[in-house]
Amino acid sequence: MSQLTVKSLFEGRKGFRHDDQPRLGVLVTNLGTPDAPTTPALRRYLHEFLWDPRVVEAPRWIWWLILNGIVLRTRPKKSAAAYREVWTEEGSPLLIIGRKQTRGILERLQSRLQGPVVAELAMRYGNPSIASGLRRLRDQGAERIVVLPLYPQYSGSTTGSTFDAVADELKRWRWVPEFRFIGQYHDDERYIEALAASIREHWAEHGRGEKLLFSFHGTPRRYLLDGDPYHCQCQKTARLVAERLELSDEAWQVTFQSLFGKEVWLQPYTDATVEQLARSGLKTLDVICPGFSADCLETLEEIEGENAEIFQEHGGDKLRYIKALNDRDDHLEMLAGLVHEHSQGWPEAGGPARTLRDPQATQERARALGSDV
């Protein structure tokens, strides 16, 4: 009699053994970056990115026409040129720094935790994908997973979208892991102190600018009006840092950068503010971008490049960009601490080895029962 074979609908873990020690898995994620600073690579990347309804929240068919008819015909070439300005021999800054951050977080967790821990870097768009990162964690034996999106301020367009990608992958797994998701850390003491320390160090080296601008990536204003907490969280981060540095109200300001499309975005805009400050006679301006945990196109090309030029063109002397927290020790310490805290309550933060009285006998019994694990 022929046997009916049914294809599995759900994916199992490879190489499972009863005497494996369950591990804690950490998925460190960021936005993503193209594979190369070329027009075709940008077209692929922007297509995936801009087709995400969390990013562009518009009626699908209208947006399909605009995206495919206009945006993907013009923007990839322009963006590729911008990426070439920040690209290094090792690749995109966001990816290189992301790898260092992941390694640094893992090392710090290994010395804090008793149980075994593994970590992977994943990108919401492009490579390495969130699906591949989660599978690598699973196949290394991670049965409990903490997801750390490197976005200090929660936005549906970034953090929310990361959750979607994680859920899309996990719902295809046979054995769904226990799971925790870090939504935001915009007011975490250690994050605020790391930002303040980086500003103090910048001042010690270059002297104090006449004003400090906190520039955050923008979103359409509509997202705020529809309940996205991002704008409030950006304001709170900046206020806490300003308080820690004991700045007067005139000494700092919050702005939003990286506009896209024709809609009204969060205001005031960074470029218009930089221009207006230069026109008003300001000579030195310090700019920090606390929403970017790693330097990338938006900080290096847009702030350190474009906005520095705008400042000079309109009478300013020097716009000094204060680097992202990247792989600074205090940053990695706070991120490892955050993961550690979110793993509390799990057995030995990873889980004790499944204790088998006689591992070999157990494996043999399992095999005799028709299981190959």
Ligand X SMILES: C=CC1=C(C)c2cc3[nH]c(cc4nc(cc5[nH]c(cc1n2)c(C)c5CCC(=O)O)C(CCC(=O)O)=C4C)c(C)c3C=C
- Binding site for Fe(2+): which residues? 217, 298
Which amino acid is residue 12, in one-letter code? Answer: G
Beta strands in 162-297 (DSSP E): 178-181, 211-217, 252-257, 284-288
Give me the least distance between CB of 233 and ligand X, in Å please.
Answer: 10
Q: Find out whether the peptide bond into 220 is cis, omega within 30 degrees of 0.
A: no
Q: Which residue of 51, 203, 260, 346 would you call a contact of ligand X, by CB under 6 A?
A: 260
Radius of gyration over every alpha carbon of the chain, rounded to an integer in angstroms:
23
DSSP string, 273-291: HHHHHHHTT--EEEEE-TT
At a CB cut-off of 8 Å and minimum separation 6, what does 180 contact? Answer: 144, 145, 146, 147, 342, 343
x/- map, 124-163, ligand X, by CB under 6 A = ---------------------------x---x-xx-----
For 192, counting Cβ atoms within 10 Å of its Cβ (0-12 exposed, 13-18 middle, 19+ buried), the class is buried
Residue 291 is a binding residue for ligand X (CB under 6 A):
yes
At a CB cut-off of 8 Å and minimum separation 6, what does 360 contact? Answer: none
Residue 233 is a binding residue for ligand X (CB under 6 A):
no
Whose CB is nearest to Fe ion? 258
CA-nearest of 349, 240, 230 to 291 is: 230
The region of 43-51, 135-143, 298-306, 328-336 touching Fe ion under the rule CB under 5 A is 298-306
x/- map, 311-350, ligand X, by CB under 6 A = ----------------------------------------
What value, to the nearest 5°, has the Cα angle with vertex 298 and ends 202 and 241?
Answer: 40
CA-nearest of 18, 13, 16 to 175 is: 13
Residue 143 is a binding residue for Fe ion (CB under 5 A):
no
x/- map, 81-110, ligand X, by CB under 6 A = -----------x-x----------------
The region of 163-171, 192-200, 296-304, 327-335 touching Fe ion under the rule CB under 5 A is 296-304
Q: Point out the annotated binding site.
A: 217, 298
Residue 258 is a binding residue for Fe ion (CB under 5 A):
yes
The region of 115-123, 175-183, 255-263, 351-359 touching Fe ion under the rule CB under 5 A is 255-263
Give me the least distance between CB of 42 and ligand X, in Å please.
Answer: 7
Helix (H, G, I), strand (E, B) or coil at 92: coil
Longest Cα–Cα distance of the chain, Å, equals 89
Q: Which residue of 24, 27, 29, 33 would you call a contact of ligand X, by CB under 6 A?
A: 33
Q: 253 with 213: CB under 8 angstroms?
A: yes
Residue 79 is a binding residue for ligand X (CB under 6 A):
yes
Give me the least distance between CB of 15 and ligand X, in Å please.
Answer: 34
Number of residues near ligand X (by CB under 6 A): 23
Site residues for Fe ion per CB under 5 A: 258, 298, 302
Site residues for ligand X per CB under 6 A: 31, 33, 50, 55-56, 75, 79, 92, 94, 151, 155, 157-158, 217, 219, 230, 258, 260, 291-292, 296-298
